[in-house]
Structures are given as structure tokens and as C-alpha cells.
Amino acid sequence: MYIYIISFGDVEKKLLLSCACTVKQTLGFEVRISSVNFTIGQAYNSNRRQYHAELVLNYLSKLHYSDLLKLVALVSFDLYMDGLNFVFGLAQYGGRNAVVSTYRLRTSDEWFFFSRGLRRSSFMN
């Protein structure tokens, strides 16, 4: 069984690799990394200039990988949910999918940015 970390948008490969190492060390599962073509335009709200996190999760539920245990999508765009201005991420309660946005975590300090991203992506503890 594998934990898959996939990316949409402009997510740095270094961040994907760091997250994969952290997840493997923390949880002990093998991790696979993949990029996915960005085809979730139906989740985009042009008035807000953000993507609806629940619709992104719905999209993730349609993706299938062999020996999948969990699927974490790292995205570079801004996420929101109804009633909230933004969210850093969202996971299905008891499910297999999660989405984490790096959009509001960005900073010029690369170490600080990576530590923020690693904390958000290790939600599965």
C-alpha cells in the first residue's frame, strides 16, 4: 500500500520530495509522487479567484492508483469553502483523500515555507 502525493499547479519538486520523506519517516508507508494535469476548472470560482476545496476533493475521488492507501494533493492555488474566506486544506473524514494549498504559506524564507508545508501535509498522524 502506498501514500500518493500528487501536485497541481506550480508546486516545487523539492517540496514534494520533502513531504514524501517526512510522511515516510512519520508513518512508515512507502510514498509515490506524481503530477496530474490540471483539469479541475469546474472547482474554480472566478468571482472569488479561488478553488472550492470540496470540489477538488470530489475530483480526487475519481483518480485511481494501484495499491492506494491515501492520496494527498499539494496545490499552488488558493482554496475556499462555503462560509470561509480561505482554507489551507481539507481532508475527507475517514476517507482517503486530502488537498493542501501552499498558496497562503508562501514566504521568501525557503526553510520557513518548507516547514509550513511539511506541517500541513503530515495531517495524517
pLDDT digits (tens, 9 = 90+) for 36-68: 776 677 899 999 999 999 999 999 998 889 899
**Cβ atoms < 10 Å from Cβ of 13:** 10
Q: How confident is the model at residue 114, as a pLDDT? A: 60
Q: Domains, the chain, ranges and CATH?
A: 2-121 (3.40.390.10)
Q: What is the mean pLDDT of the chain?
A: 85
Q: How confident is the model at residue 9, as a pLDDT? A: 77
Q: Which of 18-22, 49-53, 93-97, 104-108 has the highest mean pLDDT?
A: 49-53
pLDDT of 96 higher than 90: yes
Counting Cβ atoms within 10 Å, is residue 67 exposed (0-12), middle (13-18) or buried (19+)?
A: exposed
> Alpha-carbon distance 24 to 30, whole Å?
6
Mean pLDDT of the 17-26 span: 88
Q: How confident is the model at residue 125, as a pLDDT? A: 41
Grid coordinates representing 15? 517540496
> Alpha-carbon distance 84 to 33, whole Å?
30
Please work out, in degrees rounded to the nearest 5, the angle formed at the alpha carbon of residue 99 by the alpha carbons of 98 and 104: 145
> Alpha-carbon distance 67 to 2, whole Å?
6
Q: How confident is the model at residue 38, as a pLDDT? A: 65
pLDDT of 124 higher than 50: no
pLDDT of 82 higher than 60: yes
Q: pTM value?
A: 0.82
